[in-house]
Amino acid sequence: MINITTPITTSRLVLQPIAVDDYAFVLQLVNSDGWIQFIGDRNVHSEEAAKAYIRKIQQTPNLIYWVARLNDNQTPVGIISYMKRVYLDNYDLGFAFLPEFQQQGLAFEAARGILNFVTNNMHEKIILATLLPENVKSIKLLEKLGFQFSATVDVEKECLHIYQLNVT
């Protein structure tokens, strides 16, 4: 199980492991249009459901969610996930940001911070990312981070694209 407790800081963000106290932010994020369209409805529609969702994340081996917060006022703006999926040989990087904080370079900054951390501290050589092929904005972000299209995989009746980052 990945156990990360020290915050990761970037120029504009602090990345901290998700906590139950983040329930209001999670409730907003998982019900945003982009999350529903590209990740799916997680049936998290109440404060209690959001708290239960966070507890499930916290109890899942080989899975961590970092909440990206603005340095200046600690406003939560997005999440970065790092998980070992059963259908992949390597860990998978994911990200989702509230609509009002997209297109500002924050997701890139947060993802770069996590990539630096896992490559330096966990000595990962290959990191993957999976997404729907129509998620063009996320594909562009992955390519900017150095990921390249690798393969497709069918998961639960959906064709996902796998992008790969080879760490040198």
Torsions phi, psi for 159 (to 5 deg): -90, 115
Q: To the nearest whole percent, how much of the chain has pLDDT over 90? A: 86
Asked if pLDDT for residue 162 goes beyond 60, the answer is yes
pTM of the model: 0.92
Q: Which helix (H) or strand (E) holds 67?
A: strand 63-70
**139 located within any domain:** no
CA dihedral 46, 35, 63, 166 (to 10 degrees): -170
Which pLDDT score is estimated for 1? 42
**Domain extent at residue 26:** 8-121
Which pLDDT score is estimated for 22? 98
Which pLDDT score is estimated for 12? 97
CATH number at residue 96: 3.40.630.30
Which residues face 70 on adjacent strands? 13
Q: Supply the mean pLDDT for the chain.
A: 93
**94 located within any domain:** yes
By the 10 Å C-beta count (0-12 exposed, 13-18 middle, 19+ buried), 121 is classed as exposed
How many domains are contained in the chain? 1
Q: Which helix (H) or strand (E) holds 91?
A: strand 91-97
Which pLDDT score is estimated for 5? 77
Which pLDDT score is estimated for 85? 93
Q: To the nearest whole percent, how much of the chain has pLDDT over 70? A: 98
Band (pLDDT 50/70/90 cuts) for residue 122 is confident
Q: What is the dihedral sign for C-alpha 66, 84, 104, 9? A: positive
